[in-house]
Amino acid sequence: MVPPLLLFAALLGAPDAGSAAPHDHAAGVDQRGDQGMGFSHQTTAHHFTLTADDGVISADALDPADSHTRDSIRGHFAHIAHAFSAGEFDLPMFIHDRMPPGAETMKRLGKTISYRSEPTARGARVVIRTGNPEALAAVHDFLRFQIADHRTGDSTDVQR
């Protein structure tokens, strides 16, 4: 028999005793992100932008003299552009401990999406572009999830 309090909690959608607390999840995202990306979230600024035509993922070293972090970001973003172009979203799944929303559609519609890595003064960015409305919606879902899970504070609204 299920104790009434646990049954009540389950009906409310409360996490069970084995679920990770939000703080634990955030710490896991940070730790796995640092490992998977090859640079520290503490020495970089990571941002996600939704626009009417595309989406942008960017990261910059906080210290303009930190060429090691800048170069690590550039290498990682070149890898991400190549992997996403090939329909490989294993790294976001590893970092977030689940497949991000939009990723399956991005895989399915991969031939309609381009991913271009571009260096910036302190790091790099990946420009994600598509003319397919379904793919664009998936890209925006993917980026909104990234904004929330990485806790960047970026706008989830489409920028004009």
Q: Is residue 103 part of a domain?
A: yes
**Tokens 């990682």 sit on residue:** 76
Q: Is residue 73 part of a domain?
A: yes
Phi, psi of 112 (to 5 degrees): -100, 5
Q: Is residue 99 part of a domain?
A: yes
Q: Is residue 159 part of a domain?
A: no
Measure the CA–CA gap between 98 and 92, rounded to whole angstroms.
8
Total tally of structural domains belonging to the chain: 1
Beta bridge partners of residue 108, listed in sequence order: none
- Give the structural domain span for 102: 4-150
C-alpha count within 13 angstroms, C-beta hemisphere, residue 32 = 17
Q: Is residue 155 part of a domain?
A: no
Query: 157: which DSSP letter?
Result: S
Q: Is residue 157 part of a domain?
A: no
For the stretch 3-24, pLDDT in tens is 444 333 333 444 444 445 667 8
For the stretch 60-79, pLDDT in tens is 999 999 999 999 999 999 99
For the stretch 86-114, pLDDT in tens is 999 988 776 767 789 999 999 999 999 99
Report pTM.
0.80
Q: Is residue 56 part of a domain?
A: yes
